Structure 1
Amino acid sequence: MATHEREITEPVDLCLDDGRLDPAAVGWSRRPLHRSAIRGWGRTKRWEYWCVTTPTHLVALTVSDLDYLALNSVHVLRFGTEGPVREFERTAIVPGGLGVRLPDGIAGAAGCPPVRVGPERPVRGQVRIEIADAGGATRLRARCVDPDRRPVEVDLLAELPDGHETLSVVVPWGERRFQYTSKHTARPASGTVRIGDEVLGFGEDAWAVLDHGRGRWPHRVAWNWGAASGRTDGHTVGLQFGGRWTRGTGSTENALCVDGRISKIGEELEWRYSRRDLLRPWTVRGGGPHGIELTFTPFHNRATRTDLGLLANRTDQCFGHYSGTVRTDDGHRIAVDRLLGWAEDVRMRW
């Protein structure tokens, strides 16, 4: 069930010397192989987004450098069967992106410099985020203050087991507009989030997902992104699906990670959902022989609206559970039963 997309197996530069996309970089890989130095300035976007989930709570950290400003955030969501959903988010806007510099490689990967943004002791709306290598794992640390003025301390470890494959893809709109993304799913995680005297544990049922991005984007763009991780049908499964933004490029960011092995899906998937009621079930289908037949049932929408002139963002990130069936490259059918993750609808002007 090999995809038509070219698999890259050796290190390659993302850009030519003049900043244009290197044609040899277009393709996908099972581990990060792209050297993603982007020369010059202008419409360049760099970010690291980590989300670590458990069956009852999750935390997400974002560090982003958007050329003319940076957005760094800590998001905590508590859910489950006991009581209402509880959520808070702290986002620090940094004009000019002062003090926020992301490396060409994946922050926290072996051999890559660590990332540290924000003051050591944040107050009010400030955030401190650190991403660093921890010897075969990535350590994620953060500090902020919640709306009740309680100190928040995040200290998590996202492991990368030997042989665990990830999905890296270059999406080319043209020689001057392109995106390199590395998506990691089903990485085992552990650690704690402290909110005042309360401790949220991340143990055997905790999973980390990474969205690493480096590229030069169009002024306006819209996308879908869905991801989920966990154990189902006797397997450890990671789902990674994208939509809209890759149409017409010849590339997709669609893949399954089953027991650490990537099955690349080289077709656009069909997303169906109601923008009028985003908490109604979504469906994601297609993938040819990979037989993607999934229903996503949301329980919470993290709605974000930003209008800062140059930047306008309308994001609906719905958290919920995936159920249905998928097939690996070798044709093995996997029953997906309430796999925790998210599906989002995003429209950006940046």
Structure 2
Amino acid sequence: MATYEREITGPVGLCLPDGRLDPAAVGWSRRPLHRSAIPGWGRTKRWEYWCVTTPTHLVALTVSDLDYLALDSLYVLEFGTGRPRGFERTSILPGGRGARLPDTVAGHDGTGPLVVGPERPGRGRVRIEIGAEPGGTRLRARCLGPGRVPVEVDLFAALPEGHETLSVVVPWSDRRFQYTSKHTARPASGTVTVGGEVLPFGEGAWAVLDHGRGRWPRRVRWNWGAASGRTDGHTVGIQLGGEWTRGTGSTENALCVDGRLTKIGQELVWRFEPGDPLAPWTIDDGGAGQVDLRFTPFHVRRVRTDAGLLGNRTDQCFGRYSGTVRDDGGRPIAVDRLLGWAEDVRMRW
């Protein structure tokens, strides 16, 4: 199950002029180095997903352009006391009107953060803007929440100097491929205001980014898990993937320990109950000794969509990871109730 992936250390284009995958782009890097322009049209998917967590609440922003429609969403969850409560608001724009997600990754020379917008909010009922600021990324959003109360998001996801992230190209073929940049353990700050209630994001707030550009098969299934925080005396970010990379020779698995990335070139084994996603999950590397984790959910966000071209079955569980991971040097790190999520997704798009 091991993979043998090439580390990319200099700028590279994702595609050839005719829109096929450039073989030189296949590999992974410790910072964004791909120029992700995708010539032509058809089966192209572009998105930005940010989730910012605190010990008591979280907010997730999604901006996506699926070629034939644009979809923006805002999700807020409070779980610090009593029963978790949350809400989600989504804008769907047929034809992708107003979707402005650039193809070329800013800072592709590796000297700056990956910030790709949208710099200005769209016209839907969920308005999201993402912009570069010195030292990181500003996330803003507006919508109407439950009872039509205004919801305002103003968060800053810092990118400390030298903090490494995972970027990787996953190739199904020269016509179907995905470039993803996954950032974990980015310190965050700011506020989310729901009506007159202010949810503070300060000490213990962490941002995770899923940036994607690619051309996808019609149907796909994936697992994704991530977590960030302090554990065993270290700042740890965990990035775990499954299913969709199988057979490609690439994985999206990595650890970030005190800002240093450890790439895991091993397909992971995910064990969970699809019919009972709130039951404990286990995720490991089949005995290789680098990842041995148990995930205990406390809340599930369910999405079910069947709208012609688009079908989506998502169980995204929020919970806590415990177990052991090892960095490049073989040093064991105890993971103790690290806050994050694990999801099981089936898409028709």
Q: Identify the TM-score tier after normalising by the shorter chain.
A: over 0.9
Q: Does 1:150 align with 2:149?
A: yes
State the shift of 1:136 in Å.
Answer: 1.8
Native 8 Å contact 2:128 2:141 kept in 1: yes
Q: Which residue of 1 aligns with 2:255?
A: 256
TM-aligned CA distance change 1:173 to 1:346, over 3 Å: same
Q: What does residue range 133-212 of structure 1 map to in structure 2 within 5 Å?
A: 133-212=132-211
8 A contact 1:265–1:287 mirrored in 2: no
Displacement of 1:105 in angstroms is 3.8
2:118 is equivalent to residue 118 of structure 1: no
* 1:203-282 alignment runs, 5 A limit: 203-282=202-281
Preserved contact between residue 9 and residue 29 of structure 1 (Cα < 8 Å): yes
Deviations 1:237-258 (A, max 9, x none): 0000000000000000000000
Supply the AA of the counterpart residue of 2:276. Answer: D
Query: What are the within-5 Å matches in structure 2 for residues 1-350 of structure 1?
Result: 4-80=4-80, 82-106=81-105, 114-115=117-118, 116-119=120-123, 126-286=125-285, 289-350=288-349
Q: Report the Cα distance in structure 2 between the residues aligned to 1:331 and 1:110, rounded to whole angstroms.
A: 29
Cα distance in 2, alignment partners of residues 339 and 107 from structure 1 = 31
CA distance in 2, matches of 1:251, 1:117: 34
- 3-state SS of the aligned residue for 1:320? strand
TM-score (structure 2 length as normaliser): 0.95
Deviations 1:99-139 (A, max 9, x none): 111012457965856412323xx7xxx11101000112100
- Structure 1 residues 257 and 87 mapped into 2: Cα distance closer, same or farther (>3 Å)? same
Instruction: Please tell me the residue identity of whatever aligns with 2:44.
Output: T
* Separation in 2, partners of 1:69, 1:102: 13
CA contact (8 A) 1:290 1:331 kept: no
| 8 A contact 1:49–1:63 mirrored in 2 | yes
Question: SS at 2:147's partner residue?
Answer: coil
Q: Structure 1 runs of 4+ off > 6 angstroms?
A: none
Contact 2:35 2:105 in 1 (8 A): no
AA at the equivalent of 1:9? T
Q: Secondary structure, in 3 states, of the residue corresponding to 1:117?
A: coil
Give the 3 Å change call, closer, same or farther, for CA 188–106 of structure 1 in structure 2.
Answer: farther
Cα pair distance change 1:202/1:107, threshold 3 Å: farther
Q: Distance in 2 between matches of 1:158 and 1:223?
A: 26
- TM-score by length of structure 1 reads 0.95
Q: Cα–Cα, structure 1 residues 117 and 307, in superposed 2: closer, same or farther, change >3 Å?
A: farther
List gaps (5 residues or longer) in structure 2. none
* Helix, strand or coil at the partner of 1:341: strand
The 2-side partners of 1:146 and 1:101 are apart by 24
Contact 1:312–1:348, Cα closer than 8 Å, also in 2: yes
Q: Which whole-Å CA distance do the structure 2 matches of 1:104 and 1:260 have between them?
A: 27
Alignment partner of 1:224: what SS?
strand
Would the alpha carbon gap of residues 30 and 191 (structure 1) be closer, same or farther in structure 2, given more than 3 Å must change?
A: same
CA–CA separation in structure 2 for the residues paired with 1:333 and 1:154: 37
Give the letter for the 1:31 counterpart: R
- Structural RMSD (CA): 1.6
Q: CA deviation at 1:307?
A: 1.2
Q: Give the 3-state SS of the residue equivalent to 2:204 in structure 1.
A: coil
Q: Is the 8 A contact 1:322 1:338 kept in 2?
A: yes
Q: Which moved more, 1:106-115 or 1:55-64?
A: 106-115
In the alignment of these two chains, the number of paired residues is: 343
| 8 A contact 1:107–1:132 mirrored in 2 | no
Counterpart Cα distance in 2 of 1:110 and 1:330: 27
Matched letter for residue 144 of structure 2: V
From the superposition, tell whether residues 340 and 110 of structure 1 become closer, same or farther in structure 2 (CA, over 3 Å).
Answer: closer
Q: Secondary structure at the match of 2:148?
A: coil
The answer to whether the 8 Å contact 1:289/1:331 transfers is no
Alignment check: 8 A CA contact 1:103 1:113 kept = yes
Contact 1:13–1:25 (Cα < 8 Å) also in 2: yes
Give the whole-Å Cα distance in 2 for the aligned partners of 1:291 and 1:17. 39
Amino acid at match of 1:200: L
